[in-house]
A and B are shown apart, each in its own frame.
Chain A
Amino acid sequence: AQSVTQLGSHVSVSEGALVLLRCNYSSSVPPYLFWYVQYPNQGLQLLLKYTTGATLVKGINGFEAEFKKSETSFHLTKPSAHMSDAAEYFCAVSGLSRDDKIIFGKGTRLHILP
């Protein structure tokens, strides 16, 4: 069964600094991987996803993530943080079967310091 671990429930970075949010998954085969973002008082929206192909995935708002099979990781990065990036970020994983459901991590709240 798939599972996902997000390291750090809260992360603070200064405006303009690199954003790095960590996600590790547990799966016997390379799964499908997702990052979702939740802005205050809103539902979640998809940032990016990896299903097959290129391991470096670019998403919206300047975010990207790299699938590293050897490290079972799918960390989310952004070169320069903006105040508007303050939100909660969820890593998610699913298996290869069409009936597999998407499993979410517990979330990381990103704080941007002025």
Chain B
Amino acid sequence: DVKVTQSSRYLVKRTGEKVFLECVQDMDHENMFWYRQDPGLGLRLIYFSYDVKMKEKGDIPEGYSVSREKKERFSLILESASTNQTSMYLCASSLSGTGLNTGELFFGEGSRLTVL
């Protein structure tokens, strides 16, 4: 069964702390994505990657960075967490051969981050 695993389901951090959110997929997918989900706003794309060591900004990259050192792993980093980054973070992956636009996205279960 295909799987996208996010390392932490729930995190509580303090303002100014550095936060790492880890995502691992076992489907050999080239494309990986980080989304942020907030009530009434739907899903907003933070960053995506279509290959190892490659990254592209999404719609709301400010305050975030990413790392993709291995094909199966895509990390989201909050260098200095702020209260407005309290949210649900969703990782997803898809096959490269289908393009970014037509392929099915496979999602992890999400990481709910609270910044105090």
Question: Do the beta carbons of B90 and A94 come within 8 Å of each other?
Answer: no
The SS class assigned to the A binding surface is: loop
Residues of A within 8 A of B42 (CB): 90, 104-107
B109 and A41 form a contact (CB under 8 A): yes
Classify the secondary structure of B's interface with A: mixed
Are A43's CB and B101's CB within 8 A?
A: no
Residue of A nearest to B96 (CB): A98
In the complex, A41→B111 CA distance in Å?
10
Interface window among A11-19, A45-53, A70-78: A45-53
Interface residues on A, range: 20 to 34
Q: A97 near B101 (CB under 8 angstroms)?
A: yes
Do A102 and B101 form a contact, CB below 8 Å, given A42-B109, A43-B107, A45-B107? yes
Asked if B99 lies at the interface with its beta carbon under 8 angstroms from chain A, I say yes
In the bound complex, do residue B90 and residue A44 qualify as a contact, i.e. CB atoms below 8 Å apart? Answer: yes
Write the nearest CB–CB distance from A26 to chain B, whole angstroms: 15
Nearest chain B residue, comparing its CB with the CB of A6: B42
CB atoms of B99 and A98 under 8 A apart = yes
Docked complex: B32-59 residues within 8 A CB-CB of A: 35, 40-43, 45, 48, 58
12 extra A-B contacts, CB within 8 A, seeds A43-B107, A104-B35: A41-B109, A43-B90, A46-B104, A94-B102, A97-B99, A101-B101, A102-B101, A102-B105, A104-B42, A104-B43, A106-B41, A107-B42
